[in-house]
Chains A and B, each alone.
Chain A
Amino acid sequence: MTTEFKELDVRPILRDGGEPFEEIMKAVATLQEGQGLRLLAPFRPQPLFRVMDSKGFDHEVFELEGGHFEVRFTPRMEETVAVSDNAISPALWPEPSVQLDLSDLPPPEPMQQILAEAEGLEPGKVIFAVLSREPLFLFPELTRRGHQWVGNYDQAGTAYRIMIRVGSGGSNA
């Protein structure tokens, strides 16, 4: 994915003896979601890197002619993954033995299909499913049945992906 940048040239401000920090923060505050900041400065703005890092931006530095610098601050795409309370080391789960594309089913049919699939699998097996949205009512039911799960939206936010590790029977089984 290419990042779109907003440009801010602080060289004139510094030339006039001004303090650019406030301008930079103002520019950062007006960035759209996913938009980056291209900063042009007469020196390498080292202290800014930490500030921007804490705001969730990575940086790349390019040296320009005349000893000036271009810094590209790119927002980190955070892959927030939801994990069930009972999930243990999802990174070590085996490859999914079942793949389901449920993105064209209206709710609550995806929930029904996933639960049915889980009933037929041995404990430890993994299901991977794609849905059109977060199956909110499914989550507690999975946990209640002793299944572990992790899930998140894809980057475009149009599909929800969930991995379920079948448990060996929950409290209600």
Chain B
Amino acid sequence: MLGATLSRWTMSYFAAALVCLVAGLILTASGFGYPSTAIEAPESLVVIHLFAIGWLGLLFAGSLLQFVPVLVSRPLEMPHLSLPVLLLTITGLGLLLAGFLGLAGILPLWSWVLPLGGAVLALAFAGLLWMVTRTLATARPMPLPAKFVALGCAALVGVAASGLLLTLPLSGLTANQYLVGLLLEAAPSHAYLGLVGWMTITAIGVSYRLLTMFLLSPERPRMTSRAVGWLMAVGLAMVAFGTVLAGAGTSPTATIYVATAFGGIAVLIYGLDVHLIFRERKRKSAEMNVLASLAAVAMLIACFALFGASTMSDLPIDLARPAAYLFVFGWLTGLGLGQLYKIVAFMTWLECYGPVLGRAAVPRVQELVNERRSSTWFLLYFGATVAATVALIADTPAMFRWLALAQLAAVCALAFEFTQARRLAIVPQAVRLPKGAIHPRLFLPSFKGSSQ
């Protein structure tokens, strides 16, 4: 069969992801974890992994299940793994967080909890990789966006494997010299593999398809886009190499710097690509999701500028951690929220009105969301994120917590807008539920549907 259908469990992934984002922001705003404690402290590890795996990991996994079929024009392979992968990710994350809380002295410490959490997460990611790579493998030749996703998959293997190895010495189960060396040196590489390697490379690849689609811009495999892929691949290989060496006691700082330089050049070229896609668009009005994506890309470039500045050793202020913060909240989260705004409305529209299209009057996708109100929340979100980054650079923790509260408010408001879209709450009554349309459930699949 050709074409793409709705991914059955993607909306559940998104719901779980948003719960993690809200929980993480509540913790941050209440002073739990970084920056109130050191970034290596167990409390910080709780918050960081809640954002990285709970929010971003589930968001990306759910999106991949929906969009990899769109990239290769084939249905998802092994779709019945979607629910087990979701449940395993949540379970693994729960165990991992329990392990960190044990290290922080908040929960009783069982040393096996951390490695078990790592192993369950590795299993979950293996399931995700199985579905994604099998689906990609059906495409010959592979379109460029799909190649980015494949490269991102390689990084996901790296981040899951390094994470699992890190849990062993961290939980005290082993004093193996190599693993302890890894624990002392490899955390930045682990973060790079996840945030840049998996998520950024995947997001860049998928955006080449989605941005051109929403803007009616010609999609062509440009030389510049290929260069972005190659530069990212070299950076990724450097970091993987550095991670392996880290266990032997060699500091991987140099490889991270070089990889960041490669990544920086890559995102500059990517920024140029986005500019070209935007300039060649046939559709003049840009919707909220595109504007949010553009803001996110601007922040991505700013992050690498900050990372670059942080390598200057005589700076009296810490720029690397604020840059990482902006990377997670300005770039990845900003982009994620912007895309969710569109994807949730579109998936809901297709699920509800797909069967009656052409047979009855139906609303437009835009009528499922309130763009004016949502744009206020996006403005609040991005404003608070930039200000929070400045507060981190200026080292004013009290101010930072207020700004995290503002981020939390914006995210809650956007999550409310998403549920309004799912409920068809603002759709004009005359076209809300024509005969034959299926009212979607809030975040569970409707079991009667024929989509997967």
Contacts and interface: CB of A to CB of B under 8 A. Distances in A.
Interface of A: 82, 84-85, 104, 106-108, 111-112, 114-119, 132-134, 136-141, 143-144, 157-158, 172
Given A137-B350, A138-B3, A140-B3, A158 B218 contact: yes
B129 interface: no
Interface of B is mostly: loop
Contacts of A114: 358
Contacts of B69: 136
8 contacts: A106-B216, A107-B214, A133-B213, A134-B73, A136-B3, A137-B350, A158-B218, A172-B450
Interface in B346-384: 346, 349-350, 354-355, 357-359, 362, 365
Contacts of B2: 82, 84, 139
Interface string B60-95: 000000000110010000000000000000000000
Nearest to A119: B358
Given A137-B350, A140-B1, A144-B450, 16 more contacts: A84-B2, A107-B213, A108-B346, A108-B365, A114-B358, A119-B358, A136-B3, A137-B3, A137-B354, A139-B1, A140-B3, A140-B5, A141-B355, A157-B219, A157-B220, A172-B450
Interface of B: 1-5, 69-70, 73, 213-214, 216, 218-220, 282-283, 346, 349-350, 354-355, 357-359, 362, 365, 450-451
Nearest to A114: B358
A85 B1 CA distance: 6
Contacts of A158: 218
A132 B280 CA distance: 13
B346 A143 contact: no
Contacts, number: 64
B349 A136 contact: no
A112 B282 contact: no
A158 B280 CA distance: 13
A72 B291 CA distance: 49
A116 B213 contact: no
Given A136-B3, A136-B70, A137-B350, A111 B216 contact: no
A116 B357 contact: yes
Contacts of A117: 358
A70 B451 CA distance: 56
B1 A132 contact: no
Contacts of A132: 216, 282
